[in-house]
Amino acid sequence: MKTPAFLARLGEHDIRVWADGEGLRCNAPAGALTNELREELKRHKDEILQFLRSAGSLVQQQRAIVPLQPRGAHPPVFAFGGHNGDVFCFRALARHLGEDQPLFGLQPPGLEDGQKPLDRIEDLAAFFAGVIRGFRPPATYVIAGFCAGGAIAFELARKLLEEGQPIALLALFGTPYPTSYRRLPRLRRWLAEEVQRVARQLRLLASMPASERRSFIAEKLHRRKAPGLVEAPEQPNPALARRASVQRATFTALRRYLPGHFAGRLVHFLPSREWVNSPDQPLRWRSCARHPAEYYGPNGCELDVMLLEPYARVFAELFAKARGTPFAVAN
């Protein structure tokens, strides 16, 4: 029996079949599921289950893996985006790495209609370990993550390595240490930023002549009291709503997560040396890996633009250096 042809024949009679654990379930109009078809389903149950699971796995892979640059002989990079799951943050980096470096983005569950986001880092790592093994046969991989996605990349690399999968490199790009996402550190950071903002305003006022100072304060008070325009509420965008849901789940997962130990090579690419003193505590990742190292971007580079132009080329060069191969300029 050719399974796809048989399932197509069932479909012609509006008979739907799906896997339910170790068994098969079906839904059929009255009289459509004849004794002959019922017996054929029983005889080929295992074959049908295998086909349905492989088809489901393929759909899962297609949703989860985005080929940003699929060609090349180097070990493939599987990379997580930031907190909202946007893998296209790696697009410029992939271009500068050239056509010999495969790079695949990993999209978390929840961005497609009908999916629920995962709110544990360990569950995300287990999900993607299965997706990657199904997508590429066992081989040496590079696992990467930008910003919040670095913590997911860390746990995924740990899991794959523990399962005997070779990991050439774990690459973190501007990844805060997970405890910095907890509410108390975030509150302290917000308060510090507010103090800095007020201090800037006071310095600005002190530098003004008295007449300008009065006008400046009056304008600020007027804006605060003026009622805003009432606009008709927009219809919610389902795609944006799903992305927001993934973002909330990711932050929940990060606040719960405490990294274990990675017995491989971890390289942390930081926006600049100034970022070492950030409240995001990036250097705490050193204590989590057997072979840690840091590479620094240029002075003045910030986290939110480090993978964009003009900095993407700089970090592509640093990545090639960490990978241990010459950097080839991409066209």
Report the half-sphere exposure of 123 (CA within 13 A, side-chain side).
13
Compute how many other C-beta atoms are within 10 angstroms of the C-beta atom of residue 106.
Answer: 25
Per DSSP, the three-state class of 259 is coil
Question: Residue 299 — pLDDT band, cuts 50, 70, 90?
Answer: very high
What pLDDT is recorded for position 22? 67
What pLDDT is recorded for position 328? 46
Would the pLDDT of 122 be above 90? yes
Report the half-sphere exposure of 240 (CA within 13 A, side-chain side).
4
The pair of structure tokens assigned to 249 is: 């789940």
More confident residue, 230 or 43: 43
CA distance 270 to 295: 6
pTM exceeding 0.85? no
pLDDT tens across 31-50, in order? 778 888 888 888 878 887 77
What pLDDT is recorded for position 58? 45
> For 288, which DSSP code?
G
CA distance 276 to 283: 7
Would the pLDDT of 201 be above 80? no
What pLDDT is recorded for position 59? 46
259 neighbors 151 (Cβ within 8 angstroms): yes
Name every residue whose Cβ is closer than 8 Å to that of residue 78 and which is 6 or more positions away in sequence.
65, 104, 106, 128, 132, 141, 142, 143, 144, 156
Task: Determine the angle formed by the axes of helices 45-64 and 35-43, rounding to 10 degrees.
Answer: 70
Would the pLDDT of 234 be above 50? yes
Name every residue whose Cβ is closer than 8 Å to that of residue 47 and which is 6 or more positions away in sequence.
1, 3
List domains and CATH numbers for the chain. 3-43 (1.10.10.1830), 69-181+240-323 (3.40.50.1820)
What pLDDT is recorded for position 225? 59
Mean pLDDT, all residues of the chain? 82
